[in-house]
Amino acid sequence: MPTGDALVDRLLSLRQHQSDGRRSPHKPLLVLLALGRLAESGSSALEWSVAEDRLASLIAEFGPSSKTGRAQSAAYPFTRLRSDGVWRLSRDVPMDAVAPLAEAPVTGGFVPGLEDALRRDPDLLRSVARELVDSQFPETLAQDVLLAVGLDPQWVAGGLAAEPPGEARQRSAAWRESILRAWDARCAFCGFDGAIAGAPVGIEAAHVRWFNFDGPDAPDNGLALCALDHKLFDRGAVGLTPDGRIEVSQAFRAAGPAGRAVYARHGLRLDPRPGTALPAEPYVDWHRSEVFKGEPLAG
């Protein structure tokens, strides 16, 4: 029988289930949802009737675009997480099968050794939550994901360090500065260039291919974006074409004039400072495949 520590290691190894940068956050989202339940109620137990709705919504909102039906997309991690040795179901059902899950009540939850270890040690629970969310999502989305699964981001941020200093891949502060300088500290999408005492306000360096999915701190993997456009970009509401034009997703909706102004950017060409490298095609292709939602607007 694996120890609690061994089971936690298995849980954290979910972050390694990436292939050539392909995003598959389904299992981590299920684990985060179960961690939220455990933190709130003392039990990770999650009924399929709840998972079918909540997990499917999480996958649709934070996962890559997919044509898979909602119930099926939730059934994949709900049944397959058992193969990692950290999850159990109240009765046996075939992998990926939706119909047996709906025939009679089925509840999923962490295996006892893992459940006990996480319940006894809140610092461990929030450290695991932070490790998973940081490995699967950029900083712009981490707080949104935690709130969506029922975890308080401030509480999670107080956990123990998940990796000893120096072992994790380090972000480059110089890269951020160079990206802002290359784009004249001006949002590449909307043109916002606000500053206070000469310092940019609300302008951020955005990775096209996410840093935690092997996106390098390279000049051609970055854009200067305002905080709002950075989030829209990382949510897949806005993207890029290989020739440097802005795309707006058909999944994006807005009724008011400020929101609808996003539509007007569709088809516009990026206009950086002379000599600035446009995002390279491999990074743009990754974003289009793994982040951008659905199809672009027509025209």
Please report, for residues 24, 37, 151, 238, the alpha-carbon distance to residue 41 in angstroms, rounded to integers and kept in the order given: 28, 6, 12, 37
- Report helix, strand or coil for 206: strand
HSE-CB of 131 using CA atoms within 13 angstroms:
24
Nearest partner of 130 among 161, 95, 102, 96, judged by Cα: 161
CB 10 within 8 A of CB 128: no
Least confidently predicted of 11-15, 242-246, 291-295: 11-15
Q: How confident is the model at residue 163 (pLDDT cuts 50, 70, 90)?
A: very low
- Which H or E run includes 117? helix 112-120
Q: Is the pLDDT at 19 greater than 80, yes or no?
A: no
pLDDT on residue 161: 45
- Pairing mode of beta strands 107-110, 87-89: antiparallel
- Report helix, strand or coil for 107: strand
d(CA 190, CA 196): 19
Please report, for residues 100, 107, 111, 130, 256, the alpha-carbon distance to residue 114 in angstroms, rounded to integers and kept in the order given: 26, 16, 6, 17, 47
Q: Is the pLDDT at 299 greater than 80, yes or no?
A: no
For 95, other C-beta atoms within 10 Å of its C-beta total 11
pLDDT on residue 288: 96
For 30-50, the pLDDT digits (tens) are: 999 999 999 989 999 999 999
What are the backbone angles phi and psi of residue 50, rounded to the nearest 5°? -85, -45
Contacts of 99 (CB under 8 A, 6+ apart): none
- Across 110-136, b (16+ Cβ under 10 Å) vs e yields bbebbbebbbeeeebbbbbbbbbbbbb
Q: Is the pLDDT at 23 greater than 50, yes or no?
A: yes
Look-up: residue for tokens 């058909």? 250
pLDDT on residue 220: 97
pLDDT on residue 92: 94
Average of per-residue pLDDT across 210-231: 95
DSSP string, 170-204: PPPHHHHHHHHHHTTT--TTT----EETTEESSEE
pLDDT on residue 5: 75
Q: How confident is the model at residue 166 (pLDDT cuts 50, 70, 90)?
A: very low
Q: Is the pLDDT at 184 greater than 60, yes or no?
A: yes
Q: Is the pLDDT at 189 greater than 80, yes or no?
A: yes
Supply the mean pLDDT for the chain. 89
The backbone region for 243, taken as left when phi is positive above 0, alpha when psi lies in -120 to 50, beta otherwise, is alpha
Nearest partner of 252 among 208, 189, 194, judged by Cα: 189
**pTM for the full model?**
0.79
Least confidently predicted of 24-28, 186-190, 254-258: 24-28
pLDDT on residue 20: 66
Please report, for residues 39, 46, 213, the alpha-carbon distance to residue 89 in angstroms, rounded to integers and kept in the order given: 20, 9, 31
Name the β-bridge partners of 218. Answer: none
pLDDT on residue 66: 82
Look-up: residue for tokens 């990754």? 286
